[in-house]
Structure 1
Amino acid sequence: MKTETVTVDLDNRSYDIMIGPQLIARAGALIAKRLPHVRAGIVTDSNIGALHLPELEASLKAAGIASTSIIVEAGEQSKNFPTLETVVDHLLAARLERNDIVIAFGGGVVGDLAGFAAGIVRRGMGFVQIPTSLLAQVDSSVGGKTGINTAQGKNLLGVFCQPQLVLADTDILKTLPEREFRAGYAEMVKYGLINQPDFFHWLEKNRTAVFAGGKERIQAIATACRSKAAVVERDERENGERALLNLGHTFGHALETATGYNAARLVHGEGVAIGMVLAYQFSAWLKLCSAQAAGQVEAHLRAAGLPTQLEDIAGSLPDADTLMNSIAQDKKVSNGALTFILTRGIGKAFIARDVPAAQVRAFLMEKLRSPH
């Protein structure tokens, strides 16, 4: 199968996203070609490390790239200060220099954590993303956002640190648990719902083929990456249009905080799936879009095996006021006013500033009382 290449055009900081099979085996050669004479600090998690780290280390060694590996515990709980400190200490102890690279070899958690470390060690090291989950391949590995969580909320600390290369090996997705693949699919659907209705309708027809693998999967990942690249090129630091990529995330992040980032209850992509349904339902509640559009989004995500309702989350949820506290702490708040990504229909998302908190609270109270 052919490798697709998507370029993120940021002038002298532009980089390629390569999408296709067997890229881990070729990683050393691909990195050495673009970034000669570097050494590498590989950051990975306990799951990916056990399955795939030897192949990556061998690939780097064959290309003459010396590396050291740092393995963190798998899961959202690793996006915290203590783990960041551990990663930074290992990079410094290995005497890696500013012109060397940090390789994020894992899903979104590893990418966010390793990218944050790369952005702050020696005031900025080189950075390469090798995303191993569908979610990371279509979303978090592209665009340079990094960060960790705090008790106050998700991703509230971080830096912008653009990678110099992204290698999205589609073969590695074969070892991804089905639940994690579905979670990543939610982020893929997001691009269609923001401003590409044709892509959403293509996914409605080709979802089964995307899940099965093959050329449709590569095509879907490349389309998602092109969508994100285009937005990042126009608004790298989220001063305007890039906020559209947060469709579903304000509700989703509040639900992740409410569940204590407990992956047994909710993983990020599942939070986004419920959040996108809530965003469409809230838009319909505000008479901005039709209930039919909201129903179409829910039906597609549910057909993909994703949770779409608050009642789909195991265990009890806090009340509307507690969820509102999380929403008010979210990064999409400006001068105390709530900013939401709302929609006028499939592929017609827009940034709504100054959304009255009372309306959000009333909507949430209604959903908590009667999920349907």
Structure 2
Amino acid sequence: MASGKVLARVSIALDDRGYDIAIGTGLLGDAATWQQAPKGTSAMIVTNDVVAPLYLAQLQAALAPRYAQVHTVVLPDGEAHKDWTTLNRVFDALLGQAADRKAVLYALGGGVVGDMTGFAAACYMRGVPFVQVPTTLLAQVDSSVGGKTAINHPLGKNMIGAFYQPGLVVCDLEVLRTLPARELSAGLAEVIKYGPIADVGLLDWVEANMGPLRALDGAALAHAVQRSCEIKAQVVGADEREAGLRAILNFGHTFGHAIEAGMGYGAWLHGEAVGCGMVMAAHLSQRLGGVDAAFVERLTRIVAAAGLPTRAPVLDEADNAGRYLSLMQVDKKAEAGEIRYIVIDEPGKASLRTAPEAVVREVIDHCCSAAVA
């Protein structure tokens, strides 16, 4: 079996819940990769029907020397299946195999698989270890890191879940080569996000390297994943449970989650909704005096260059802005029914703020029109 190459390690500092993110090539099938993984009586790999034919056998073989038994459960692919019914398939598999408290769950897939596996691990026998093995760019730079686990509810995205940290995250850049172009673009939304909220230099770099990123250049992907994970590690280490600072990681997500819920989960990919949501949040930031029109135009160009939508969908012909507002009220950042938004105070610095409803309506109306720049 060929040896993997670790290019970088990023540590999440959370006392006894801390863990490493290994970033490299050829890591998935290398038994040495998993020496840091939690020990246990058995392993259960949770994946989906798209990823399983590509990488399940490879991970099974790599884990076989470490566990007495390696079980699998293959879920249907897509955001539409991020629900109680699908989650119960994981519990059915665990109970069917008589998995005990020393079973270790492995999430082999994108953000949906990672979120559901983490939530299952948090709930099963009140908590068993799990490992994130993200196979999409979005999951590698964002959802696999930080311990947010959840399923969707018809009224709101990720509203049922738990904070539960993995024991290890393994980002094998090689798996991104089988990623469809649309999924790659969706992941780039989460990379772009880190620039306006925390690192203008990263935004400059992404703008200059969009071509190599979309062409799956190894060095460009490695830098994007490492820097994104470094920023998220800093934020999560300072605010694990989103009491304040961590909320900035939701830049574009308040509008984006409304788009996903309003259109029906899976109509747009999460990253597509976030990309458009960032454009909407930038317009709101401008109206609140945080950034100028030139920055909004620049961010819109970068989002478009990533292959992401910049024009927001109409969710209700009769009262479109009202529909957005009602969906955004079902948001984890809302307090006492008051919607709070992540806005850019200045490039590289963000905050959580309320906004006058009339201003938000203007933003929605504008961003749902033909002209978004």
Same fold (TM over 0.5): yes
Q: Is the 8 A contact 2:21 2:168 kept in 1?
A: yes
Q: Does 1:260 align with 2:267?
A: no
Question: Which of 245, 251, 257 is the equivalent residue of 2:255?
Answer: 251
Distance in structure 1 (CA, Å) of the matches to 2:343 and 2:294: 15
Give the counterpart letter for 1:306 in structure 2.
Answer: L
Q: Is the 8 A contact 1:116 1:159 kept in 2?
A: yes
Q: Deviations over 1:155-199 (max 9, x none)?
A: 000011100000001000000001100100110111111110011
Give the counterpart letter for 2:251 in structure 1.
Answer: L
TM-score, length-scaled by structure 2: 0.94
Classify 1:369/1:218 alpha carbon distance in 2 versus 1 (closer, same or farther; 3 Å).
closer
Q: Is the 8 A contact 1:182 1:306 kept in 2?
A: yes
Partner of 1:20, secondary structure, is strand
The CA RMSD over aligned residues, in Å, is 1.9
Distance in structure 2 (CA, Å) of the matches to 1:318 and 1:109: 31
Q: Does 1:21 align with 2:25?
A: yes
Q: Is the 8 A contact 2:189 2:271 kept in 1?
A: yes
Alignment of structure 1 residues 1-372 onto 2, 5 Å: 2-26=6-30, 28-211=31-214, 212-263=216-267, 266-310=268-312, 319-352=320-353, 354-369=354-369, 371-372=371-372
Distance in structure 2 (CA, Å) of the matches to 1:226 and 1:38: 32
TM-score, length-scaled by structure 1: 0.94
Distance in structure 1 (CA, Å) of the matches to 2:63 and 2:254: 39
Q: Is the 8 A contact 1:29 1:60 kept in 2?
A: no
Partner of 2:368, secondary structure, is helix
Distance in structure 2 (CA, Å) of the matches to 1:272 and 1:221: 18
Give the counterpart letter for 1:247 in structure 2.
Answer: F
Please state how far the C-alpha of 1:316 moved relative to its aligned partner. 7.6
Aligned length: 367
Please state how far the C-alpha of 1:315 moved relative to its aligned partner. 11
Give the counterpart letter for 2:238 in structure 1.
Answer: R
Q: Deviations over 1:125-166 (max 9, x none)?
A: 001000000000000000000101111110000011100000
Give the counterpart letter for 1:14 in structure 2.
Answer: G
Please state how far the C-alpha of 1:332 moved relative to its aligned partner. 1.2
Distance in structure 2 (CA, Å) of the matches to 1:54 and 1:367: 45
Give the counterpart letter for 1:342 in structure 2.
Answer: V
Classify 1:275/1:332 alpha carbon distance in 2 versus 1 (closer, same or farther; 3 Å).
same
Please state how far the C-alpha of 1:309 moved relative to its aligned partner. 1.3
Structure 2 portions without partners, runs of 5+: none
Please state how far the C-alpha of 1:369 moved relative to its aligned partner. 4.8
Distance in structure 2 (CA, Å) of the matches to 1:90 and 1:2: 32
Partner of 1:43, secondary structure, is strand
Give the counterpart letter for 2:136 in structure 1.
Answer: S
Partner of 2:352, secondary structure, is strand
Q: Which runs of structure 1 show a deviation greater than 6 angstroms over 4 or more consecutive aligned residues?
A: 313-318
Distance in structure 2 (CA, Å) of the matches to 1:357 and 1:315: 17
Please state how far the C-alpha of 1:286 moved relative to its aligned partner. 2.7
Distance in structure 1 (CA, Å) of the matches to 2:56 and 2:125: 26
Structure 1 portions without partners, runs of 5+: none
Classify 1:371/1:320 alpha carbon distance in 2 versus 1 (closer, same or farther; 3 Å).
farther
Classify 1:279/1:66 alpha carbon distance in 2 versus 1 (closer, same or farther; 3 Å).
same
Classify 1:303/1:314 alpha carbon distance in 2 versus 1 (closer, same or farther; 3 Å).
farther
Distance in structure 2 (CA, Å) of the matches to 1:360 and 1:314: 15
Distance in structure 2 (CA, Å) of the matches to 1:229 and 1:33: 18
Q: Deviations over 1:331-356 (max 9, x none)?
A: 1101222110011332122211x323
Please state how far the C-alpha of 1:64 moved relative to its aligned partner. 4.2
